[in-house]
Amino acid sequence: MGFRSPGLTARLCGALTRAAAALVPLDRRAAFRREWDAELAHALDPRPPRRPPGPWGRVRLVYRAALALADALSLRARESTLDSFTKDLRLAVRSFGRRPAFTALALATIALGIGANTAIFTVVDAVLLSPLPYPEPDRLALVWEQDNERGWDRVPASAEDFLAWRAETRAFQALAAGRGQSYALTDGDGPPEQVPGMAVSADFFDVFGVRPARGRPFGPASNVQGAPPVVVLSHGLWERRYGADPDLVGRTIRIGGEPVEVAGVMPEGFQFPSQAQLWTPLVFSQAQLDDRNWHFLTLVGRLSDDVSVEGARAEIRTLAARQAEEWPESNAGWGADVRPLHAEMTQSVSGMLWVLLGAVGFVLLIACANVANLLLVRAAGRTREMSLRAALGAGKVRLVRQLLTESVVLAGAGAVLGVLLAGWALDALLALGPLTVPGGGTIEIDLPVLGLTALAALVTGVVFGAAPAVAVWRSDLQTSLREGGRSRTAAGGHRLRSLLVVSELALALVLVTGAGLMLQTVQRLLAVDVGVAVENRLVTQFALPAASYPGLEEQTRFYDALLESVEALPGAEAAALNPWVPPAGGPQIHVRLEGVHDAWTMDLPVVRLRPVSAGYFETMEIPLIRGRTLTDDDRLGAPRVVVVDQAFVDVHFPGEDAIGRRLLTLDDEPREIVGVVADVANAGLGNGSQPSVYLPLRQSTFGAGQTLIVKTAGDPAALVSAVRQAVSDLDPDLPLTGIGTLEDRVAAAVAQPRFNALLLGLFAVLALVLAAVGIYGVMAFTVSERTAEIGVRMALGASAASVRGMVVRRAVVLAGAGVVLGVLASIALTRLMESLLFGVEPGDPRTLAAVSALLFGVALLASYVPARRASRLDPVGALRDE
Amino acid sequence: MRLTYLTGVVLAAIEAGHRYGFDIMDATGIPDGTVYPALRRLEGAGCLEARWEDHQEAADHNRPARRYYRLTPDGRALLDQARARFPGVARIFGDPEPEAG
């Protein structure tokens, strides 16, 4: 990806030599290109005995390819007449060569600005702008149910609602359902392994318009009870686990211990939902068909010709309303929604990416302002050169064109460096970031992005080149020659430079504010009390396959044996089971309170329901508030009991004693509340605590997926292999997934905001440095411009301190203006990132105050060096130079 | 043809068997941007002649044919002058080897 592929180098080199070839006289152009192409092809040839060039070698190659320009110009120069463009170009290259420090600073600034933009835009392009890799992807949409009373949108559909909609819809030419689940691969082709996949209805592949690359999709005949089991594999799984075996289709593999025939293998790049590695036929159980309150289906459809998303939404809502009338008990108050698939798939990252794109846009603006400033300063120093050329007959148009050529050359060179930088930045970004392309695919710098970069370079070149050009245009060149070329050209530039610095500071302040808010979000999230002991806990997931563990009895036997053998491991202090370990969410289930609710309706209270093993609260150190926790005696046959948390009591029994009250859950059996425990984070980090009900594992037939938690004496990671061995001794076919420490898991919940904070922080630092360089440049220039005046003042007795004060006062005025503008802009713009924040408001006054102080300090610091220089001027020397 | 240290080094590199543009850049260590203009000048002055590499050989390596340079008698004479005037050129590639190709 990114720069790791030689493809980018080859494309860049090719683009550079092609651009150079345009300058070569026509009769020699073909030979020129042949020669350069051959040299580059040879240098990039990766086959033995040659080796592909390393990163540094690739930079050198791109540099060489850029120098094809020198070759092209020399060929052109051999033609007798030099046209003025070539002359401008040569002048530009030569004049930059004379001032290497200026050139390096300007190039680095542009490269950083353009590099950051190219990298982020590449990601935005791949993730948000590129269409999904399916035929007519704009016609794909997801269909959700909505609970209007609770304000829930994006609720999965129930089986009956799906079947009714599929039968009646006209807006969708195909509507498919899927249920994401996890599959245990237990064949001999590799170690047992748990992979994500989806059970789907037959027309699922038709909706996407993608057929398996090998074999066939499964037909509707597979979607009925008792049909022979089949599976379609993803290209990735086929390659990774089955070595891309061409004869795999038709063979039988084992999933969850059961034989399943491989019907087909999907083409590379097909991935829905995003991590799915295999698809099996969706078969509805009678219970699923009977229960209209059971919402478990993801619906994806392909719109009919000439039907818009809005049209489909209206139709599905009509159908939903009809169902609500027909089945008021389950469907009253329920609606439906249709949303474009692409937007739904990128919803979690799109807010962040747009904010980042805005941020790098600001960085580029600051970079432009900075380079414009540098060029203005340089132009002021070149007044004499310009005047001389004017005196020798160069028209103003010619001079302005010369200046613009220079800045475009500078921008072009900076852009080439920037693309190299972007290649690396992108690799780093992807290694670090939780970023995936919807529907599969890679994120890399491609030709459209390069084109946009070139355009950005051209525009920035003209924009920052315009400032000195305008200054020249307005000036009276004849006068300035007479005056000895002192910096009168820049008289108008003076105000312009101040304006540029003020806007740089304002933009930098917005970026630093954004980064500050994001940083606080991460801090607040990390400070959230999960409510359980996080340190020294090892966690891992597994799911008992129904084939080998059909009932509660078999499952309980396995769980008991597992807990016993794990607790016996040296270094293990305790072990427990719970399918959803905090801060993970888990499903929300209705409960009925005895004596409060008479029947099962949709407006019953919702809780997080967790079946846990007897030692769970002790292992996780969740404090008991009243009553008792669960014990091994809470088994089948014993009285049914539950433990609830304080949030549950606060909602349903405020001010009362909950112990002894009874409630009903999924199995419709009354259970007595025997204990109340403290709240834990159970809806994802930072989303607070929702009412929870804990069932004894031995009294629950609720799902077979489990998380094993081991409390360890020392480093939990040391127990990983021992725990694996203990599980494998009990059931060699049972795969473990996500084995790791609970600490890492909690940290992973902060990965996305941490990523945002890191990038925004990086851009903010960049902006701050650029702004500091900008204000330093302006102050240093002011000092050198006023050398004579300062000399006179000092000769007349002004103290060093008063001279320093004079310079710093000006910096204070500029910084003050920048800060005021920046604060106003921040208040307006940080609102756009509200959805990314936690625990801190956009426009947070404390953040704004701190950031303003920081910027003010940086500005003063940057002006201090020129101020000190001014105060140490030797008045005699300063006046003599005059 | 004006004789400079740079042209001397380029000629010496070609004589030492570095016959392609990039190889000459690698061998001489002089700034990359000056090598091709120097080659063009020398070719224009008749000190070098350029040929395309054998197509079959290039095709065997699955890449386009490269353009290689060799000294003409004029170029050889210029190199001798360069060695006489710039002792650095005489030392740079050691003893001249018989030219291949």
Residue A267 DSSP SS3: coil
pLDDT higher than 50, residue A792: yes
Per-residue pLDDT for A77 more than 80? Answer: no
Residue type (1 letter), A647:
A
Domain membership of residue A98 (yes or no) is no
Rounded Cα distance between A632 and A619, Å, is 14
Reduced to 3 DSSP states, what percent helix, strand and coil does chain A have, rounded to the nearest 5?
55, 15, 30
The number of domains in chain B is: 1
In a domain, A459, yes or no: no
A33, A61, A82 - which closes a domain: A82
Tokens for A566, please give them.
């794990």
Contact B36 A70 (CB under 8 A): yes
**A295-303 and A157-158 strand pairing:** antiparallel
CA A741 to CA A131: how far, in whole Å?
38
Same-domain status, A775 and A726: no
* pLDDT for residue B100: 41
Asked whether residue A724 falls in the same domain as residue A581, the answer is yes
Domain limits for position A841: 501-527+751-881
Q: Is A844 contained in some domain?
A: yes
Instruction: Give percent above pLDDT 70 in chain A.
Output: 94
User: What is the structure's pLDDT at B101?
Assistant: 37
Q: Which H/E stretch holds residue A232?
A: strand A230-233
- pLDDT at res. A624: 94
A611 near A645, Cβ under 8 Å?
no
B51 lies within 8 A of chain A by CB = no
Nearest CA in chain A to B67: A35
Subunit contact B66:A39, Cβ cutoff 8 A: yes
pLDDT value, residue A493? 61
Say whether pTM exceeds 0.90. Answer: no
Average pLDDT over residues A635-663: 91
Using DSSP, state whether A750 is helix, strand or coil.
coil
Residue B99, pLDDT score = 43
Q: Are residues A860 and A766 in the same domain?
A: yes
CB neighbours of B12 closer than 8 A, spacing ≥ 6? B79, B82, B83, B89, B92, B93
Interatomic CA distance for residues A500 and A463, integer angstroms: 12
Please indicate whether residue A36 or residue A449 has the higher confidence score (pLDDT): A36
User: What would the pLDDT profile of A718-727 be if each residue is shown by its tens digit?
Assistant: 999 999 999 9
Q: Name the burial class of residue A303, with classes exposed (0-12), middle (13-18) and buried (19+) by CB atoms within 10 angstroms of its CB.
A: buried
Say if residue A487's pLDDT is above 50. no
Distance CA A369, CA A496 (A): 10
Domain that holds residue B68: 5-92
The answer to whether residues A818 and A506 touch, using CB atoms and an 8 Å cutoff, is yes
Tokens representing A421? Answer: 């930088």
Q: Is residue B84 part of a domain?
A: yes
A685 and A779 assigned to the same domain: no
pLDDT at A213 (0 to 100) = 92
Examine residue A389 and state whether it is found in any structural domain, yes or no: no
Q: Distance between CA atoms of A164 and A162, rounded to whole angstroms?
A: 5
The residue-averaged pLDDT of A568-597 equals 86
Predicted confidence at residue A465, as pLDDT, reads 79
In a domain, B72, yes or no: yes
| pLDDT classification of A477: cutoffs 50, 70, 90 | low
Burial of B56 (0-12, 13-18, 19+ CB in 10 A): exposed
What integer pLDDT is reported at residue A483 of this predicted model? 52
Do both A61 and A173 map to the same domain?
A: no
Task: Classify residue A553 by burial, with Cβ atoms within 10 Å: 0-12, 13-18, 19+.
Answer: exposed
Residue A879 has a pLDDT of 67
Q: List, for residues A367-381, the tens digit of each pLDDT value.
A: 888 888 888 777 777
Contact state of A71 with B37 under an 8 Å Cβ cutoff: yes
**Is the CB of residue B67 less than 8 Å away from at least one CB of chain A?**
yes
In chain A, the residue whose alpha carbon lies closest to the alpha carbon of B19 is A39
Confidence of residue A43 (pLDDT cuts 50, 70, 90): confident
ipTM value for the complex: 0.90
Which member of B22, B33, B40 has the closest CB to residue A39? B22
Please say if the pLDDT value at position A171 is more than 80.
yes
Which token pair is A312?
């489909």
**Could you tell me which chain A residue has the CA closest to the CA of B21?**
A39
Q: What is the mean pLDDT of residues A510-518?
A: 92
Residue A220 lies in a domain: yes
Longest dimension (CA), chain A: 109
Lowest mean pLDDT among A59-68, A116-125, A312-321, A596-605: A596-605
Confidence of residue A264 (pLDDT cuts 50, 70, 90): very high
pLDDT category at A733 given cuts 50, 70, 90 is confident
| pLDDT beyond 90 at A143 | yes
Residue A876 φ/ψ, nearest 5 degrees:
-65, -50
Q: In sequence order, what are the beta bridge partners of A741? A: A538
Return the pLDDT at A880.
66
Buried-state track A14-25, b at ≥16 Cβ within 10 A, e below 16:
bbbbebbbebbe
Question: pLDDT-derived band of residue A409, with 50, 70 and 90 as boundaries?
Answer: confident
Beta carbons within 8 Å of A693's beta carbon, 6+ residues apart: A591, A607, A608, A609, A610, A642, A643, A644, A648, A663, A665
Would you place residue A659 in the very low, low, confident or very high pLDDT band (cuts 50, 70, 90)?
very high
Longest CA–CA separation in chain B, Å: 43
**Beta-bridge partner residues of A663:** A593, A671
Q: Across the strands, what pairs with A301?
A: A141, A175
From chain B, the residues in CB contact with A45 under 8 A are 61, 63
- Is A511 in the same domain as A590? no
- Please say which residue of A82, A111, A137 terminates a domain: A82
**Which pLDDT value is given to residue A262?**
94
Half-sphere exposure of B44 (CA within 13 A, CB side): 16
A475 backbone dihedrals φ, ψ, rounded to 5°: -80, 160
pLDDT digit string, tens, across residues A800-811: 888 888 888 888
Residue A481: alpha-carbon gap to chain centroid:
56
CA distances from A347 to A131, A359, A437, A835, A852 (A): 15, 19, 12, 12, 33
User: How far is residue A334's CA from residue A345's CA, in Å, rounded to a whole number?
Assistant: 24
What does the alpha-carbon distance between residue A356 and residue A763 come to, in Å, rounded to a whole number? 9
Q: Which residues pair with A198 in a beta bridge?
A: A180, A279
Say if residues A178 and A199 touch (Cβ distance below 8 Å).
Answer: yes
At position A453, the amino acid (one-letter code) is T
Same domain, A656 and A770: no
A847 touches A516 (CB < 8 A): yes
Q: Are A795 and A656 within one domain?
A: no
Contacts of B40 in chain A (CB under 8 A): 71, 74-75, 78
Are A284 and A227 in the same domain? Answer: yes
Euclidean distance between CA atoms A299 and A163, whole angstroms: 11
Quote the mean pLDDT of chain A: 85
- The per-residue pLDDT for range A424-451, each reduced to its tens digit, is 888 888 887 667 777 666 788 888 888 8
Residue type, A552: L
Could you give the 3-state DSSP secondary structure of residue A140? Answer: strand
Is the peptide bond between A583 and the residue preceding it cis, with omega within 30 degrees of 0? yes
pLDDT digits (tens, 9 = 90+) for A665-710: 877 788 999 999 999 988 877 777 889 999 998 888 666 688 999 9
Is B98 inside a domain boundary?
no
Show the tokens assigned to A843.
């426009």
Query: Tens of pLDDT along B31-77?
Result: 777 889 889 889 888 899 999 988 888 787 777 889 999 999 999 99
Q: Is residue B17 part of a domain?
A: yes
Q: What is the pLDDT of residue A564?
A: 94
Query: How many C-beta atoms lie closer than 10 Å to residue A598's C-beta?
Result: 8
Q: What is the pLDDT of residue B73?
A: 92
In a domain, A576, yes or no: yes
- Residue B101 counted as domain residue: no
In a domain, A181, yes or no: yes
Before A49, cis peptide (omega within 30)?
yes
Q: What is the pLDDT of residue A702?
A: 65
Rounded CA Rg of chain B = 13
Q: How far apart are CA A344 and CA B94, in angstroms?
A: 69
* Percent of chain A surpassing pLDDT 90: 29
Q: Is residue A554 part of a domain?
A: yes
- Helices and strands (H and E) in chain A: how many: 28, 24
Task: Verify whether the Cβ–Cβ distance B33 to A70 is below 8 Å.
Answer: yes
Distance from CA of B40 to the nearest CA of A (A): 7
Question: Are residues A690 and A618 part of one domain?
Answer: yes
What integer is the mean pLDDT of A184-212? Answer: 87
Give the closest-approach CA distance of B100 to chain A in angstroms: 20
Q: Are A715 and A168 in contact (CB under 8 A)?
A: no
**Number of structural domains in chain A:** 4
Find, in chain A, the residue whose alpha carbon is nearest to that of B36. Answer: A71
Stretch among A262-276, A578-592, A673-687 having the lowest mean pLDDT: A578-592
Q: What is the CATH number of the domain that holds B60?
A: 1.10.10.10
Q: What is the pLDDT of residues A199-235, one digit of tens each?
A: 999 889 999 999 999 999 988 888 888 889 999 999 9
Residue A95: the pLDDT is: 77
Cβ atoms of A847 and A513 closer than 8 Å: yes
* Contact: B41, A74; criterion CB under 8 Å: yes
Instruction: Mark whether A566 and A512 lie in a shared domain.
Output: no
Q: Are residues A7 and A59 in the same domain?
A: yes
Closest by CA position to A717, among listed A743, A689, A678, A736? A743
Contact B20/A74, CB-based, under 8 Å?
no
Question: Which of helix, strand or coil describes residue A830?
Answer: helix
Read off the pLDDT of each residue in A297-324 and give the average, rounded to a whole number: 93
Residue ranges of E strands in A578-704: 588-590, 592-593, 606-612, 624-627, 641-645, 662-664, 670-677, 692-696
The answer to whether the beta carbons of residues A695 and A640 sit under 8 Å apart is no
Residues present in chain A in total: 882
